[in-house]
C-alpha cells in the first residue's frame, strides 16, 4: 500500500516558551526542532503498516528548507520518500497550508499513483489549528476521521479506533482514506545509528506549491499571564493521606 | 521556600559536583557558617554534573590532573559510589601505539596499574569489539564509574550536618563588593539573590559553565567557555542488558576517533570530542524552565555526529542496530589552556573560583580549594597550573578564550607533545626585537601570551661547526632543533644575546617596601642598594610559591623580576599580602622595561664597545646603573651581574623604547666576537641544566621546600616571612628526605637501536632493578626537566631523589616511552663549571 | 445570530457543550445578536431544555438516518448547510475533539476560516485570542470571514446556566444528506477493558531509587490497583533489576500521559522527566522538599513513601 504522511517541523521547547521581541515567532535561539508529536506517531504507524502489508511511505512536509531534517528523521525510522513543500519560513495559516499540501499530494499521485492512506497528526504541537488534515482530505474527496489511536487494514478497509471517555469508537473506511492520529496510537521507534546514517542518502524532493493566504492572520504571540505554579505541599508523612485522596477525588480517578 | 540568612561566613554558589564537595570539605575542615545556593533544583540543578558520563580514566601525563583525578576517584570509592569497570584505550594508528608507550610511562610514574593489550586481548575483555580496526589497547583496571549526583548529595549532607544551609531554586542576581582595603582593590561583601541578600566574608563561584558570567557580576573574570560535548545513548543491546548492572564491560576509548563507548545498563553511551568545536556564550544557555531537557543538555545537532556514528559502528557493529534513544549537545567548561580555574580570583578579595572542573576531578579539586581557603594554600598537591591567578589580561577576553578552547577541544583525546605550541592567538605580546628576530628566522615559542625565540634558523651554520645532527626519532625531534645546541656551544665559546623581555617586572616602593619585600622572601632583601637577591617565596606551609629575583633598587624601592609563566600568580601574591597601611605601593613595570641577556667569555669585550664600565668591580649579584653608547646616542641601563646559563655577563635592563638600538649596537659590536642571538633552548634548558638551576613549576612546587630543593641558605634571616615557621621546622627536622639531583643518561639506545631523548615530562626514575621510588609523603621520583648538556657531552635530567639515592655515582634507570634507560646521579649541583669560575669571571 | 453547535453522543451532552453555550451567551451579547443552538441527530427535549437553560433562544434540530450516530463528515455537512440556510453571523462549538473536528469539516466544505480554541473574541473586528502550544502561548489573530467558525478553548469558561432561562423555540432544519456520508459514522464501540497499559493508564504510581528493593514495590502495586492504574519506575530501578524495562518511564522507556502521576522516591532526573512530563497532574512523594520532582509537581507530600503510600491506600479503602 502507498501511504502519505504529513508532518510539521516544530521547535522542541522546555517548560517555558519564549517569544521573540516583535511577538511574531517563538524564540528558538536555544531550541532544537522536532516532528510534531502526533505526526511522529503518524510516521511510525505508516511504517508499521507498510512493514505488515508491504508498500511505501512518503513523508510530506511544508516548511523552511530546514524541515528536510524532519524528512530525514522519518527516513531514519523507515519512511521511504521525503517531499518538501518549501516556504520562506513564515507561518502559513491553515487554509493556505491545506491548499499547498493538497496540490502537492495531487502532484505526487499524478506522477506516482494514488495513495491508499493519508495520515495526518490530529493537530500540530505549536499552532494547534485542528483542521489542515481535514481540509486536505475534503479537498481530495477522501473520508477522514480524527483522534485515531488504532488502525487496522483489512483488504481495502481501514478500521480506525478513536478513544473516548468510555472506550473506543470504531470507524470503517474504504481506501483511499485519511486519518488524523493522536499520540498513544503507538510508541514511535527511535532511529538506529544505521538508520540515521542511511537517512543521509534520502533524496528530498522539492515540490513548490503556491497558495493564497486564508482568512486567519496571526498578529501577535504572547505568553499567558504567569500563573504561579508553586507546588502545593499537602503535608508531611502519612498524615497527608486524606489530603491526597481529596485531590484524587477531585480529579475523578478514585 | 524560606528566605536566605542575612549573613554567612562563606557562600558557595553552585550545587554541582564541585559546590557540593566544596561545602563538604569545608565542613570537614571546621567551617560551619556556610550557605550553598543553586538556581536550579536538587539533586540535579541542571548543570554539567547532571549529564556527565561519570567515568574516570586515571592516567594523565599532567601531574595535577592525574593526581587530583586519582584523589577524586578515591573519594568516590570511599563513599561507596564508584565501580571499577576498567577501561581500555584502543589504537587505530601506529602513532597512537607509540602514545600508549608514553601512557605506560605516565602510569608507572603515578603508580597506576596499566597493561598494553593485543587486539585479541582487548577482545577477551570486550568481545563485541572489531579487532580488525585496532592495533592494540592500553588497559587500566582501575578506570571507574562514579555516581556524581549521589556523591554531591552525600557531601552536601556532611555540610548541612555541620550547619551549612542549602537553598535550591535560588538565583544569584548580583555579587556586591566594596572598595579597599587598598586603593584600587575591591573586597566581596554580599551575594544578592532572588530570595534576599546574604552578607558574606567569602564567596565561592562553583557555577560550572556559568562561572564567568557570575564572576562578571563582581567585576571579576573566570576565563572559561561553555562548549559542547556530544553524547548519544544507544540501545537496547542484549549483550549489555545481560550484565544486569550499570556497567559490566570496560569502557572503551576509541582514541584515534576521539570517541568513547561506555555501557550504561542496557545501552551504550557514545561520546565524542571529534566534532567541530561548538562554543556558547553563557547568556545563550537556556534557563531550567526554557530548556527542553536541562540547561546544559542542548539540542543535539546530528550532522556533527554522523562521522562518529560511522566510526563507532566500525568499532562495534552491534551499535549500528541500536536505537538512538537520548542524544545531547552536553555543555562542559573549557579554558584557554585546558586547565581548571582554582583559587581566589585576583580581581576581588575573598571571591574564589572553583570552576572548569569535570566530574573526574571534582572531589579532589574541591578539597584543594577548601584547603586553600582554610590554610592559605592547598595541601593535597601543588596546583600552580590550575591557579586562576595565572591568566594575564589578554587571556581573559572572550576572543582568547574562544580561540584557544576551539583549538584544544579536538585535542581532548589527541596526542599532544609536551612542547606543543598553540596555533591561534600568537604574537599577542612581542619584544622590541621581534621584527629583527623574525628576520633571523627565529622559531618562536609562546610563554602564556609572550613570544620568545627558542632558536634562530640564522644559526644553522653552527651545526657544521660543532658537528651536530638532529635527533633520530621524530617525536624526540619535534619542537626541537640541534641549532639550540649550536647556540649553546657558541655561547660557551664566544657569547650569546638572549631576549629576556618577557620577564615580569614589578616595583614595590614606599617606606614599608623593603620590610614588606622581606616578608615575602625567604632570603634577606634588606641589603645595600644595588644588590639583588635570588630567593624563594614560600607558602604558609613552607613549600615553594615562587622563585625569583628581588633587587634593592633604592632606599625605599624593591624590584621584583620573575618568569613569564608565573607573572600573574606572583603579582597576585605580592598584591594580596601587602600591608593595608599605605606604606607600600605596587607597580607592574613589565611594559616599560626590556631585558637582554649578554653572556659568554666575550661578553665583557662586546660590552666594552658600549661602556667603559669596570665590570670586575661590580660583584656577582650587583645591579649597576650605566650609560650605554648606542650609535650616536646614550641610553640609561642597569647591568645585573647574574647568569642563568653559567657564564660571565649580564642581564641588561633598559627602557622598552631603547631596546632596538641596544640590540643593534650589541650585535654590531659582537659581530667579530662570535656574538649570536641565542634562544630559549639555551637559556631555559641546556645552559640552565648544566648549572643545575631549578625552575619554578618544574623542580620547584609547593610540595617541596627549599631544603629539598637545595636552595636553603646556611642561616635563617631574623625577619619574619611567609612560611617561616614551617621552614624553620623543616630545618630543625634534620636532613631533607629528598634532594633535587642532576642525573646523566648513560645510554640512549632503545630496543630498536635508536637513540631516544627524554622530554622532562615526568618520566619515572626507577631503581636499578626497576622499582618506583617514592618518599614518605608518597612523592614519586620523576624527571622534572630534561635536556642536552652540550658542554659536558651528556644528556641531563633533574629530579628529586631520596637522600640515600642522591649520592653521586648512584646508578638508576629512567623510563621513557615504556623503555628503561640507565642513568647516573651526577650530584645536587652544577655539572658544568662547578666552581662557578666562569660566572664570577 | 450566533449558532452554537450542541455536542452530544447519542443524547448525552458533555461539559464542553455547556461551556460552549456559556461562552456563546457572552459572545452573542457582545455581538448584539441572539444565540441559537443546533441539535444534530437528535430532537431530545432534554437537550433542547438544556440549551434553553443556558440561554439559547432557538434550537435548530436535524434528524436524518445518516445522523443516527456520530459521523464527522455528516455533522460537518449539516453545519455547512446551516451556514448557508440559517445565515448565522458566526458559528461556535466547544473545544473538544468532536467540536474542533466538526467545525473543521464544515469549514473545509465551505472553504472558509475556522479558528480553534479561542479564549477571547472581540466581534467588532473579529480579533481573537486563541491557544497555541496547548496553552503555553497565546496567539492574537484576526479573522476575515463572512461567517467565522469558532471553537472556545476547553475549560476557557466554566459552564453556567443563564440567569433567565428560556424555553427555546424549536425549528426543524431540513437538509438533504448524501447517504455516502455514512462512511465516517461510528460503526462500533468498544468499552474500555480493565487491561490498561502504562502509556494509556489514567493513573501511574511511579517508584524510584527511594523505593529500595523489588519487594518494596508491593504497596505501589496495591495503590495502583485501587486506582485502576499502573506502576512505573525510573531508570535507576530497572538498572538495579527491581522492575522490568517495560515499566520504565522516561526518555529511554515509556512516555506516559496519565491524569495523575504519583511519583514516589523519584528525584526527577531529566531522563525520567521527559517520559513523565506529559502527565496532566503530578503528585510527588519525596523526603527532599528541594527535589526536582517536587518543584515540578502540582502537589507534594514530604515524607517517606514507605509510610505515605500505604496510608493513602488505607484512606481510599476507608472511603469506599
**Residues 196-215, chain C: which have Cβ within 8 Å of A?**
199-200, 202-203
Residue of C nearest to A18 (CA): C137
- Are B17 and B72 within 8 A, CB to CB? no
Burial code of A120-154, b = ≥16 C-beta within 10 A, e = fewer?
bbbbbbbbbbbbbbbbbbbbbebbbbbbbbbbebe
**A135 contact residues in C (CB cutoff 8 A):** 104, 107-108
b/e per residue B217-229 (b: at least 16 CB within 10 A): bbebbbbbbbbbb
Best mutation target among C7, C68, C100 (most A Cβ atoms within 10 Å) is: C100
CA C27 to chain centre: 22
> Strand, coil or helix: what is A24?
coil
How many Å apart are CA B780 and CA B799, to the nearest integer?
9
Residue A58 has pLDDT above 50, yes or no: yes
- Residues A205 and A84: beta-carbon distance below 8 Å: yes
Q: Which DSSP symbol is given to B81?
A: -
How many domains does the structure of chain A reveal? 1
Write out chain B residues lying below 8 Å of A189, CB-based: 323
pLDDT per residue as tens digits for the range A82-135? 999 999 888 899 999 999 999 999 999 999 999 999 999 999 999 999 999 999
CB atoms near residue A107 (< 10 Å) = 16
Q: How far apart are CA B618 and CA C204, in angstroms?
A: 89
Task: Find cell 632558536 and name the residue.
Answer: B455
Q: How far apart are CA B384 and CA B387, in angstroms?
A: 5
First to last CA, chain C: 49
Q: Would C214 be classed as within a structural domain? A: yes
Same domain, C227 and C256: yes
Grid cell locating B547: 622563585
Cα distance from A246 to chain C (closest Cα, Å)? 10
For residue B2, give how far its alpha carbon lies from the nearest alpha carbon of chain A (Å).
13
Which tens digit of pLDDT belongs to each residue from A10-43? 998 877 889 999 999 999 988 999 999 899 999 9
B314, burial (CB in 10 Å: exposed 0-12, middle 13-18, buried 19+) = middle
C192 touching A (Cβ < 8 Å): yes
Alpha-carbon gap, residue B704 to B784, rounded angstroms? 13
CATH numbers and ranges of domains, chain B = 7-46+150-223+337-409 (3.50.50.60), 82-144+226-334 (3.30.9.10), 688-713+734-838 (2.40.30.110)
Q: What is the CATH number of the domain that holds C306?
A: 3.40.50.1220
Residue whose C-alpha is closest to residue B288's, from A229, C11, C52: A229
Would residue C191 count as lying in a domain?
Answer: no
For residue C154, the model assigns a pLDDT of 83
Secondary structure (3-state) at B551: strand
Q: What are phi and psi of C228, to 5 degrees?
A: 65, 30
Distance from CA of B177 to the nearest CA of C (A): 30
| Chain A residues inside the 8 Å CB shell of C113 | 93-95, 214-216
Structural domain for A81, as ranges = 2-251
C216 vs C205: CA distance, rounded Å: 13
Residues 6+ apart with CB under 8 A from B796: B689, B690, B742, B743, B744, B745, B786, B787, B788, B789, B826, B831
With residue C226 as reference, give the H or E element that holds it: helix C218-226
Q: Taking CB atoms and an 8 Å limit, are A193 and B284 in contact across chains?
A: no
CB of B265 closer than 8 Å to CB of C252: no
Say how far residue A79 (Cα) sits from the centre of its chain: 15
Neighbours of A90 (CB within 10 A): 9
Cell of B735: 636532613
Q: Return d(Cα B747, Cα B758) in angstroms, integer.
A: 12
For chain C, what is the total number of helices (H) and then of strands (E)?
A: 9, 15
With a threshold of 0.85, tell me whether the complex ipTM lies above it: yes
C154 and C240 in a single domain? The answer is no
The verdict on a CB contact (< 8 Å) between C308 and A170 is no
The alpha-carbon gap from B457 to the nearest alpha carbon of chain C, in Å, equals: 58
For chain B, which ranges sit under pLDDT 70?
Answer: 1-2, 841
Residue A229 banded pLDDT, cuts 50, 70, 90:
low
Alpha-carbon span C165 to B159, nearest angstrom: 67
Q: All 3 cell numbers of residue B612?
A: 667603559
Helices vs. strands in chain B: H and E counts, helices first: 23, 40
User: Is the Cβ pair A231, C73 closer than 8 Å?
Assistant: no
The pLDDT value given to residue A227: 52
Of B44, B235, B325, the CB nearest to C267: B44
The answer to whether residue C302 sits within a structural domain is yes
CB distance C62 to C68 below 8 Å: no
Asked whether residue C197 is domain-assigned, the answer is: no
Q: Which residue of A has its CA nearest to C185?
A: A171
Q: State how far the Cα of B115 lies from the Cα of B117, in Å rounded to an integer.
A: 6
C210 and C180, same domain (yes or no): no
Q: Which of B41, B51, B236 is nearest residue C291 as measured by Cβ atoms?
A: B41
CATH of residue C94: 3.40.50.620
> Residue B586's pLDDT is what?
97
Grid coordinates of C268? 526527577
Q: Which chains touch C (3 or more CB pairs under 8 A)?
A: A, B
CA distances from B532 to B536, B627, B638 (A): 13, 20, 12
Cβ separation of A248 and C260 shorter than 8 Å?
yes
Distance between CA B641 and CA B615 in Å, rounded? Answer: 9
Asked if residue C144 and residue C14 are part of one domain, the reply reads yes
- CB contact under 8 Å between A231 and C284, yes or no, is yes
Q: What percent of chain A is predicted at pLDDT more than 70?
A: 98
Question: Whole-angstrom Cα distance, residue B666 to residue B660?
Answer: 10
Q: What CATH code is carried by the domain that includes residue A107?
A: 3.40.50.620
Helix B94-110 vs helix B63-78: crossing angle, to nearest 10: 70
Instruction: Phi first, then psi: give them for residue A157, nearest 5 degrees.
Output: -110, 140
C-alpha distance across the termini of chain B, in Å:
76
Cα angle B724-B726-B727, degrees, rounded to a multiple of 5: 60
Report, as ranges of residue numbers, the positions in chain C whose pLDDT lies below 70: 192-195, 251-253, 270-271, 274
Check A193 against B320: CB less than 8 A apart.
Answer: yes
Sign of the dihedral defined by the CA atoms of residues C222, C225, C226, C230, in that order? positive
Asked whether residue C195 is domain-assigned, the answer is: no
CA neighbor of C320 nearest in space, from A249, B190, A173: A249
Q: DSSP secondary-structure letter at B685?
A: I
Query: Which of A17, A33, A193 is closest, CB to CB, to B322?
Result: A193
Q: Find the domain containing C91 and state its range.
A: 2-184
End-to-end Cα separation, chain A, in angstroms: 45
Q: How many folded domains does chain C comprise?
A: 2
Pick from B244, B246, B267: which is nearest to C252 by CB?
B267
User: Is B469:B483 a contact under the CB 8 Å cutoff?
Assistant: no
Return d(Cα A175, Cα C35) in angstroms, integer: 40
One DSSP character per residue, B95-144 reads HHHHHHHHHHHHHHHHT---EEE-HHHHHHHSTTS-GGG-SEEEEETT-E
Across the interface, whether the CB atoms of C290 and B169 are under 8 A apart is answered: yes
Nearest CA in chain B to C241: B244
Is residue C145 domain-shared with residue C29, that is, in the same domain?
Answer: yes
Residue C185 CA to chain centroid, in angstroms? Answer: 21
Distance CA B67, CA B77 (A): 15
Cβ-based interface (< 8 Å): residues of B facing A: 232, 234, 284-293, 298-300, 302, 306, 309-310, 312-313, 319-325
Long-range contacts of B469-476, Cβ-Cβ distance < 8 Å, separation of 24 or more: B471/B755, B471/B757, B472/B754, B472/B755, B472/B756, B473/B754, B473/B755, B473/B756, B475/B98, B475/B417, B475/B817, B476/B756, B476/B757, B476/B759
Nearest to B24 by CA among B3, B15, B198, B71: B15
The strands making up B738-745's β-sheet, listed across from edge to edge, are: B765-766, B811-816, B819-827, B738-745, B794-802, B785-789
Distance, CA of C239 to CA of B570 (rounded, Å): 51
Q: What is the mean pLDDT of residues A192-217?
A: 94
Q: If residue B687 lies in a helix (H) or strand (E), which one and from where to where?
A: helix B687-691
Amino acid at each position: 500500500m502507498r501511504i502519505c504522511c504529513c508532518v510539521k517541523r516544530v521547535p522542541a521547547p522546555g517548560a517555558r516558551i519564549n517569544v521573540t521581541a516583535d511577538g511574531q515567532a517563538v524564540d528558538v535561539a536555544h531550541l532544537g526542532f522536532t516532528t510534531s508529536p502526533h505526526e511522529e506517531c503518524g510516521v511510525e504507524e505508516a511504517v508499521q503498516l507498510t512493514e505488515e502489508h508491504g508498500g511505501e511511505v512518503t513523508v510530506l512536509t511544508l516548511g523552511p528548507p530546514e524541515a528536510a531534517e524532519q524528512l530525514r528523521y522519518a527516513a531514519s525510522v523507515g519512511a521511504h520518500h521525503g517531499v518538501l513543500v518549501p516556504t520562506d519560513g513564515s507561518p502559513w495559516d491553515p487554509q493556505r497550508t491545506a491548499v499547498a499540501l493538497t496540490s502537492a499530494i495531487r502532484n505526487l499521485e499524478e506522477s506516482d499513483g494514488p495513495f491508499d492512506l493519508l495520515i495526518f497528526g490530529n493537530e500540530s504541537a505549536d499552532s494547534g489549528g485542528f483542521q489542515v488534515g481535514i481540509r486536505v482530505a475534503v479537498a481530495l474527496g477522501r473520508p477522514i476521521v480524527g483522534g485515531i489511536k488504532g488502525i487496522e487494514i483489512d483488504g481495502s478497509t481501514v478500521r480506525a479506533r478513536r478513544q473516548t471517555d468510555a472506550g473506543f469508537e470504531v470507524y470503517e473506511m474504504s481506501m483511499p482514506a485519511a486519518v488524523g492520529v493522536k499520540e498513544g496510537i503507538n510508541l514511535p521507534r527511535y532511529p538506529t545509528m544505521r538508520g540515521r546514517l542511511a537517512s543521509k542518502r534520502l533524496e528530498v524532493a522539492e515540490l513548490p506549491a503556491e497558495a493564497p493566504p486564508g482568512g486567519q492572520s496571526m498578529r501577535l504571540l504572547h505568553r499567558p499571564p504567569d500563573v504561579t505554579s508553586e507546588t502545593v505541599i499537602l503535608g508531611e508523612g502519612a498524615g497527608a493521606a486524606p489530603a491526597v485522596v481529596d485531590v484524587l477525588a477531585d480529579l475523578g480517578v478514585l | 521556600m524560606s528566605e536566605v540568612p542575612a549573613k554567612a561566613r562563606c557562600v558557595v554558589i553552585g550545587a554541582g559536583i564541585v559546590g557540593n564537595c566544596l561545602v563538604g570539605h569545608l565542613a570537614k575542615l571546621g567551617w560551619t557558617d556556610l550557605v550553598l545556593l543553586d538556581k536550579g533544583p536538587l539533586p540535579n540543578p541542571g548543570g554539567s554534573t547532571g549529564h556527565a558520563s561519570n567515568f574516570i580514566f586515571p592516567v594523565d601525563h599532567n601531574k595535577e590532573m592525574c593526581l587530583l583525578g586519582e584523589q577524586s576517584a578515591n573519594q568516590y570509592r570511599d563513599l561507596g559510589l564508584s565501580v571499577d569497570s576498567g577501561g581500555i584505550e584502543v589504537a587505530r594508528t601506529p602513532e597512537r601505539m607509540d602514545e600508549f608507550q608514553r601512557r605506560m610511562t605516565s602510569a608507572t610514574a603515578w603508580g597506576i596499574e596499566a597493561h598494553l593489550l593485543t587486539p585479541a586481548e582487548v577482545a577477551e575483555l570486550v568481545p563485541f569489539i572489531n579487532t580488525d580496526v585496532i592495533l592494540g589497547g592500553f588497559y587500566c583496571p582501575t578506570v571507574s564509574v562514579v555516581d556524581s549526583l549521589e556523591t554531591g548529595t552525600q557531601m552536601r549532607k556532611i555540610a548541612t550536618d555541620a550547619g551549612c544551609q542549602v537553598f535550591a531554586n535560588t538565583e544569584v542576581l548580583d555579587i556586591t563588593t566594596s572598595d579597599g582595603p587598598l586603593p584600587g582593590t575591591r573586597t566581596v561583601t554580599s551575594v544578592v539573590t532572588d530570595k534576599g541578600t546574604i552578607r558574606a566574608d567569602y564567596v565561592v563561584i562553583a557555577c560550572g559553565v556559568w562561572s564567568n558570567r557570575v564572576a562578571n557580576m563582581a567585576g571579576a573574570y573566570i576565563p572559561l567557555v561553555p562548549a559542547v560535548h556530544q553524547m548519544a545513548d544507544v540501545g537496547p543491546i542484549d549483550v549489555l542488558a545481560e550484565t544486569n548492572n550499570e556497567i559490566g564491560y570496560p569502557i572503551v576509548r576509541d582514541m584515534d576517533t576521539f570517541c568513547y563507548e561506555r555501557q550504561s545498563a542496557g545501552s551504550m553511551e557514545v561520546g565524542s570530542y571529534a566534532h567541530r568545536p561548538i562554543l556558547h556564550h553563557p547568556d545563550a544557555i537556556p534557563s531550567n524552565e526554557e530548556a527542553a531537557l536541562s540547561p546544559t543538555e542542548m539540542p543535539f545537532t546530528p550532522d556533527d555526529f554522523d562521522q562518529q556514528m560511522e566510526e563507532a559502528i566500525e568499532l562495534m557493529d552491534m551499535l549500528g542496530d541500536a536505537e538512538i534513544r537520548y542524544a545531547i549537545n552536553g555543555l562542559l567548561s573549557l579554558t584557554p589552556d585546558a586547565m581548571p580555574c582554582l583559587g581566589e580570583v585576583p580581581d576581588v578579595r575573598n571571591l574564589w573560583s572553583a570552576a572548569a572542573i569535570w566530574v573526574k576531578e571534582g572531589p579532589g579539586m574541591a578539597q584543594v580549594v577548601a584547603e586553600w581557603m582554610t590554610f592559605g594554600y592547598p595541601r593535597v598537591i601543588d596546583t600552580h597550573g590550575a591557579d586562576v591567578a595565572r591568566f594575564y589580561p589578554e587571556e581573559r577576553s572572550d576572543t582568547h578564550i574562544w580561540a584557544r578552547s576551539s583549538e584544544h577541544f579536538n585535542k581532548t583525546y589527541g596526542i599532544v607533545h609536551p612542547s606543543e605550541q598553540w596555533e591561534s592567538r600568537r604574537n599577542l605580546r612581542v619584544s622590541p626585537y621581534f621584527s629583527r628576530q623574525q628576520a633571523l628566522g627565529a622559531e618562536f615559542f609562546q610563554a602564556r601570551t609572550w613570544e620568545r625565540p627558542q632558536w634562530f634558523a640564522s644559526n644553522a651554520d653552527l651545526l657544521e661547526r660543532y658537528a651536530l645532527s638532529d635527533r633520530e626519532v621524530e617525536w624526540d625531534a619535534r619542537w626541537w632543533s640541534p641549532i639550540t645546541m649550536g647556540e649553546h656551544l657558541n655561547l660557551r665559546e664566544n657569547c650569546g644575546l638572549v631576549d629576556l623581555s618577557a620577564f615580569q617586572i614589578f616595583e614595590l616602593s614606599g617606606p614599608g617596601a623593603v620590610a614588606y619585600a622581606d616578608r615575602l622572601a625567604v632570603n634577606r632583601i634588606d641589603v645595600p642598594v644595588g644588590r639583588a637577591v635570588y630567593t624563594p617565596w614560600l607558602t604558609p606551609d613552607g613549600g615553594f610559591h615562587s622563585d625569583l629575583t628581588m633587587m634593592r633598587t633604592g632606599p625605599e624601592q624593591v624590584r621584583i623580576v620573575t618568569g613569564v609563566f608565573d607573572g600573574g600568580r606572583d603579582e597576585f601574591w605580592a598584591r594580596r599580602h601587602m600591608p593595608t597601611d599605605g606604606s607600600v605601593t605596587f607597580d607592574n613595570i613589565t611594559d616599560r622595561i626590556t631585558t637582554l641577556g649578554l653572556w659568554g667569555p666575550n661578553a665583557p669585550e662586546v660590552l666594552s664597545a658600549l661602556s667603559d664600565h669596570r665590570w670586575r668591580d661590580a660583584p656577582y649579584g650587583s645591579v649597576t646603573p650605566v650609560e650605554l653608547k648606542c650609535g650616536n646616542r646614550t641610553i640609561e641601563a642597569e647591568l645585573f651581574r647574574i647568569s642563568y646559563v653559567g657564564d660571565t655577563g649580564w642581564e641588561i635592563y633598559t627602557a622598552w623604547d631603547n631596546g632596538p638600538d641596544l640590540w643593534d649596537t650589541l650585535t654590531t659590536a659582537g659581530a667579530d666576537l662570535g656574538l649570536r642571538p641565542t634562544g630559549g633552548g639555551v637559556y631555559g634548558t641546556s645552559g640552565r641544566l648544566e648549572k643545575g638551576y631549578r625552575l619554578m613549576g618544574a623542580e620547584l612546587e609547593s610540595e617541596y621546600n627549599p631544603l629539598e630543593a637545595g636552595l636553603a641558605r646556611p642561616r635563617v634571616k631574623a625577619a619574619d616571612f611567609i612560611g617561616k615557621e614551617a621552614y624553620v621546622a623543616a630545618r630543625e627536622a634534620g636532613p631533607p628526605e629528598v634532594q633535587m639531583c642532576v642525573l646523566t643518561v648513560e645510554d640512549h639506545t632503545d630496543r630498536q637501536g635508536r637513540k631516544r631523548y627524554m622530554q622532562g615530562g615526568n618520566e619515572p626514575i626507577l631503581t636499578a632493578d626497576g622499582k618506583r621510588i617514592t618518599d614518605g609523603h608518597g612523592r614519586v621520583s620523576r624527571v622534572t626537566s630534561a635536556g642536552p648538556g652540550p658542554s659536558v657531552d651528556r644528556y641531563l635530567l633533574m629530579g628529586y631523589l631520596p637522600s640515600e639515592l642522591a649520592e653521586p655515582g648512584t646508578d638508576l634507570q629512567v623510563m621513557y616511552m615504556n623503555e628503561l634507560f640507565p642513568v647516573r646521579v651526577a650530584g645536587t649541583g652544577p655539572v658544568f663549571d662547578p666552581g662557578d669560575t666562569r660566572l664570577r669571571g | 445570530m450566533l449558532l452554537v453547535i450542541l455536542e452530544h453522543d447519542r443524547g448525552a451532552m458533555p461539559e464542553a457543550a455547556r461551556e460552549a453555550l456559556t461562552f456563546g451567551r457572552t459572545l452573542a451579547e457582545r455581538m448584539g445578536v441572539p444565540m441559537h443552538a443546533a441539535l444534530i441527530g437528535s430532537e431530545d427535549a432534554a437537550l433542547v431544555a438544556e440549551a434553553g437553560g443556558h440561554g439559547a433562544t432557538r434550537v435548530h434540530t436535524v434528524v436524518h438516518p445518516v445522523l443516527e450516530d456520530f459521523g464527522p463528515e455528516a455533522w460537518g455537512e449539516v453545519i455547512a448547510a446551516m451556514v448557508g440556510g440559517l445565515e448565522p453571523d458566526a458559528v461556535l462549538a466547544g473545544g473538544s475533539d468532536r467540536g474542533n473536528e466538526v467545525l473543521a469539516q464544515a469549514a473545509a466544505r465551505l472553504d472558509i476560516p475556522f479558528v480553534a480554541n479561542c479564549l477571547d473574541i472581540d466581534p467588532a473586528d473579529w480579533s481573537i485570542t486563541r491557544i497555541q502550544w496547548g496553552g503555553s502561548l497565546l496567539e492574537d489573530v484576526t479573522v476575515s470571514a463572512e461567517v467565522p467558525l469558532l471553537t472556545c478553548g476547553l475549560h476557557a469558561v466554566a459552564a453556567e446556566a443563564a440567569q433567565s432561562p428560556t424555553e427555546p423555540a424549536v425549528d426543524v432544519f431540513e437538509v438533504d444528506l448524501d447517504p455516502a456520508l455514512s462512511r465516517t459514522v461510528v460503526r462500533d464501540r468498544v468499552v474500555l477493558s480493565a487491561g490498561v497499559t502504562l502509556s494509556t493508564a489514567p493513573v501511574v504510581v511511579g517508584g524510584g531509587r527511594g523505593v529500595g528493593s523489588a519487594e518494596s514495590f508491593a504497596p505501589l502495586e496495591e495503590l495502583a490497583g485501587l486506582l485502576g492504574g499502573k506502576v512505573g519506575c525510573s531508570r535507576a530501578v530497572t538498572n538495579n533489576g527491581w522492575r522490568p524495562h517495560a515499566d520504565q518511564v522516561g526518555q529511554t522507556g515509556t512516555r506516559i500521559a496519565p491524569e495523575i502521576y504519583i511519583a514516589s522516591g523519584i528525584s526527577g532526573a531529566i531522563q525520567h522527566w521527559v517520559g513523565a512530563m506529559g502527565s496532566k497532574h503530578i503528585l510527588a512523594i519525596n523526603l527532599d522538599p528541594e527535589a526536582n520532582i517536587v518543584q515540578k509537581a502540582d502537589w507534594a507530600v514530604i515524607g517517606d513513601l514507605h509510610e505515605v503510600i500505604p496510608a493513602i491506600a488505607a484512606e481510599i479503602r476507608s472511603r469506599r
